[in-house]
Structure 1
Amino acid sequence: MKVMIRRDAAGALSAYVPKKDLEEPIVSMDNPDMWGGVVTLANGWRLELPAMAADTRLPLTVDARRLGE
């Protein structure tokens, strides 16, 4: 699924899923640089993000896979 990852003015990360019109903060990351790991959203969704360089600029739309469906 397409997911837009962005960082707000305070530095907090969030994920927006356009197909569901859902925007949730990212509350935890399995991988410190986020890319190539699993992130957990505030609503409990777990998303597997593709591997990318640690210095990838945000906002960015990626293909993520929802885990635990």
Structure 2
Amino acid sequence: MKVMVRKSGEQYTIYVAKKDLEEPIVAMEKPTLWGGWAKIANGWTLELPDLPPDTRLPITVEAKKLGSE
């Protein structure tokens, strides 16, 4: 699914347009965000693409939903 990732201060958020959903990222596999999973506040875990750490935000990327709680 296509998601938009942005950063406000130190907080990353993910917006899913098709679901009209915007949630903060509460945990992530890698400190650089890219190339691992990210868990958002609603319980979803998304696999994010492997991008360079200095990728400019906001950016729309293809993410894969891994599961939910």
Same fold (TM over 0.5): yes
TM-score, normalization by structure 1: 0.94
RMSD over aligned Cα atoms: 1.0
TM-score, normalization by structure 2: 0.94
Paired residues in the alignment total: 68
User: In structure 2, what is the Cα distance between the partners aligned to 1:50 and 1:7?
Assistant: 17
Superposed, 1:26-41 pairs within 5 Å as 26-41=25-40
Q: Could you say which residue in structure 1 is the equivalent of 2:52?
A: 53
Identity of aligned residues (%): 57
Indicate the SS of the match to 1:19: helix
**Structure 1 position 51, deviation (Å):** 0.2
User: In structure 2, what is the Cα distance between the partners aligned to 1:3 and 1:25?
Assistant: 13
Looking at secondary structure, tell me which structure has more strand per residue.
2
**Structure 1 position 68, deviation (Å):** 1.8
Structure 1 consecutive aligned stretches of length 4 or more whose deviation exceeds 3 Å: none
